[in-house]
Amino acid sequence: MMQAQGSSCTDQIPSQAAAPSTATAMTAMTKIKNKDNDDVAETTATPELVTEPTGPSHPSLTVGFTFKAICDIFGKLPSEDLKAVKTLLWKRYRRSFNTPPMHMDLVDLVDRLLECFGQELSLRITETVLTEIGQKKAVAYLQTLRVLNEVHHDLCETLRRTYGDVCEDPSKQEERRPFDDAFTDLHIKSTSNNGPNIEHEVMQIEKLDSNLDIGDLLSTKDILTSERVERTCSKLAVLIGVAGSGKSMAVRKLIFDWMERRAHQDVSFLFPVPFRDLKQFEGSEVSLLQIVQTLYPETRKLRDEDYRGNHCKMMFVFDGLDEYSGELDFQNTKLVSDYADPAALNVIIVNLLRDRLYHRGLFLVTSRPQVNTYVPWDTIYDEIELQGFCDSEKDQYFQKRFKDPDQARRVIAHICSVRTLHIMCHLPLFCSLVANEYERIFREQGVQAELPRSLTCVYTKLLLTLTQQHRRFRAPDWSPAEQKDFLLKLGKLAFKMLERGEFKISQYDWKEVGISDTEAVINSGLCMQYITKLHVLEQEKVLSFIHPTVQEYLAALYAYLSFRDLEKNIFENQVKRKLKGMIKGHRAMELYKCALDRSLLCEDGKLDLFLRFLFGMAANSNLELLRPFCTSSVTWPSLAEEAAGAPEEEDRRGTPVGQKEQLTALPGRVRCAHQSSIQMLILALLRCKEKMILFEPNVIGESTKATY
């Protein structure tokens, strides 16, 4: 395109042929009009432009757009009108064409216009000749294309400023990276209600009666495509994912690919509308149109027919339905089906989820698993599920995060060596917490620093991130006492379920526990809800923790806080606890001894990781994180001194013969001559306050390299 056509144009400026400035082109036009008398008859008949160019052109006015727009306009003209256009161009601008336009095809004709006059003046000339032949609708359409192109350009620039780069460490907002350099592919399934990831280091956990349909793997490019909309018969898609699974990054990817023209190119405008940005409209009536124009002022150029016409397709991305605290009443909320009709924000959102608000639009809503119905039963929608990273994507994340290839290889090898750490990295948020910690270590201790194998501290950081940083967007701030009370209740449930070998609980049984499901599932994000299909016609809603190890961690936190702050050993019965309390105060080591005894009785290892977390609670780095919840004035590090004399006392007391037989009979797990030697090992490890390392459950006596 834009090839030279024989001799050069007399109207063009050398070296600026492809895109001459408006002023230069106008000068050329003036020269044509002032030629010798032989040309007077032709040049004086040349009409003035319908609209004169004023000021610099909009940056959206590219060669590509101008060429496509003029081709589009001319291509839709009847053959007689197109012939009239060519005749008029030859008559008015003969010196610009070395051959008559009548013999040019459409591409060559538009190419020649742009070569001689540039983008702005070519459009003005097109408007002029169209007006002269009476094609006013074509002129209006061309002007519409220009406005849409300008809005599209300005919208993309706005989105690029917001979504074009990312900050991977919240503590370093000034350090941002281009989105492409940071994004890692995500695991998206075409089905929902798949339940939690149940991969576990110690136990073999059966699939929790969740969706048996494997479904297809999707990418963000597949969401709300024309083919998928036609197949699902729905313009409303809901992307579900547990806390930390990467929903916001998936939204960023969809937006970024659209503005970079990589995907969804049939969509004219894409409007991200985060639910947290909708809070500014609470308490007043507002329309979808007003929301868009407030968040994206450049859209005020759009006309009503742009929203209602076939020439525009619009996509709206509502990220974070779980951050919306209003009631979703689908029975009693009035129907609103016009994007320009103002109503209360709650009414707008309800009708959005009814898929009634703007029937020409495409809508994507993202959310954590909800505890209440978030789409009415009579609405057809496409529900898909985001499951974080698969194994290859975990490696890809750390390769992108650590620019030094050697550091990236070290980190990946280290994470793979700690099985539970590697499993939990299916959550992008968990990957981010691990990477932040390792970056800090490399920065403070050098690139050859030893990487920690601690599990408990990372899980504590995950807990605090979800229940403090992320929760503030979903619920009012709570005091440390309120948070502690919630965690104790949830941890107690986690421990009881763990002892029974259960990893899910029915919605009915959950209500009996007295814990807010909204707090557990939506606000804190520690749990999830999904539907299980027990039989063909039987299904029920169940709740589970977002991963079995999160359940084990919370159970250990419950045991630790109960003992430390409430002087309650959860492994002792109530009568024994009262008697012991009357005789003497609790010794901290009693908790660990009781936990170890209980764990050794479980042949399936269901308390092994719980035990690992429990020992990790006393690490100094973890204690510092838990300080807001620790109301007791007891100095927990005194545990080390208490442990120092425990082995001798254990030897004096001895181990019952029956218990020795129990311990030595446990196959495939802990084998040791007598219990005191295990306890001596643990007591010795407890002396290492800064660097606490625990045995692997299945290799005691061979290695002491596993961690907590």
The average pLDDT across 206-228 equals 85
The residue length of the chain stands at 708
Out of 207-221, 385-399, 472-486, 490-504, pick the least confident. Answer: 207-221
Instruction: Tell me the pLDDT of the chain averaged across its residues.
Output: 82
Give residue 534's pLDDT. Answer: 61
Give residue 631's pLDDT. Answer: 73
Give residue 634's pLDDT. Answer: 58
| 8 Å CB contact between 435 and 411 | yes
* Selected residue with higher pLDDT from 578 and 200: 200
Give residue 213's pLDDT. Answer: 74
pLDDT, tens only, 637-651: 444 445 444 444 444
Q: How far is CA 129 from the centre of its chain?
A: 50
Out of 329-338, 406-415, 641-650, pick the least confident. Answer: 641-650
The average pLDDT across 514-528 equals 94
Residue 126 pLDDT level (bands cut at 50, 70, 90) = very high
Give residue 40's pLDDT. Answer: 35
The average pLDDT across 625-654 equals 57
Residue entry with tokens 């070998």: 501
| Residue 362, helix vs strand vs coil | strand
Tell me: pLDDT of 280 over 70: yes
Q: How far apart are CA 316 and CA 363, in angstroms?
A: 5
Q: Burial of 185 by CB count in 10 Å (0-12 exposed, 13-18 middle, 19+ buried)?
A: middle
* H helix or E strand, kind and range, residue 204: none
Share of the chain above pLDDT 70, in %: 77
Q: How far apart are CA 39 and CA 626, in angstroms?
A: 91
Residue 183 pLDDT level (bands cut at 50, 70, 90) = very high
The dihedrals phi and psi of 206, each to the nearest 5 degrees, come to: -70, 150
Tell me: pLDDT of 688 over 50: no
pLDDT, tens only, 466-499: 999 999 999 998 888 899 999 999 999 999 999 9
Tell me: pLDDT of 405 over 70: yes
Q: Report strand pairing: 527-535 vs 538-545.
A: antiparallel
Q: Structure tokens of 488?
A: 């104790």
Tell me: pLDDT of 199 over 50: yes
The average pLDDT across 353-379 equals 90
Give residue 532's pLDDT. Answer: 83
